Amino acid sequence: MTTLKVNGHTHEVASEPDTPLLYVLRNDLNLNAAKFGCGLGQCGACTVMVDGQAVLSCVTPLVVVEGKEIMTVEGLGTAEKPGPLQAAFIEKQAAQCGYCIPGMMMSAAALLKQNAAPTDEEIRSALRTNLCRCGTHMRILAAIRRASKLMEAAGLAAAKRSAG
Average pLDDT (60-79) is: 96
- Return the pLDDT at 156: 66
151 within 8 A of 84, measured Cβ to Cβ:
yes
Digit-coded pLDDT (tens) for 85-130: 999 999 999 988 889 999 999 999 999 999 999 999 999 999 999 9
Which architecture does CATH list for 2-75?
A: Roll (3.10)
pTM of the model: 0.90
More confident of the two residues 159 and 48: 48
The 3-state DSSP class for residue 94 equals coil
Strands, DSSP E only, in 65-116? 69-71
Give the H/E segment covering residue 5. Answer: strand 2-6
Domain boundaries in the chain? 2-75, 84-154
Residue 164 pLDDT > 80: no
User: Which of the listed CATH numbers 1.10.260.40, 3.40.50.1980, 3.20.20.70, 1.10.150.120 matches domain 84-154?
Assistant: 1.10.150.120
Residue 136 pLDDT > 90: no
The 3-state DSSP class for residue 67 equals coil
- Return the pLDDT at 98: 86
Give the H/E segment covering residue 90. Answer: helix 84-91
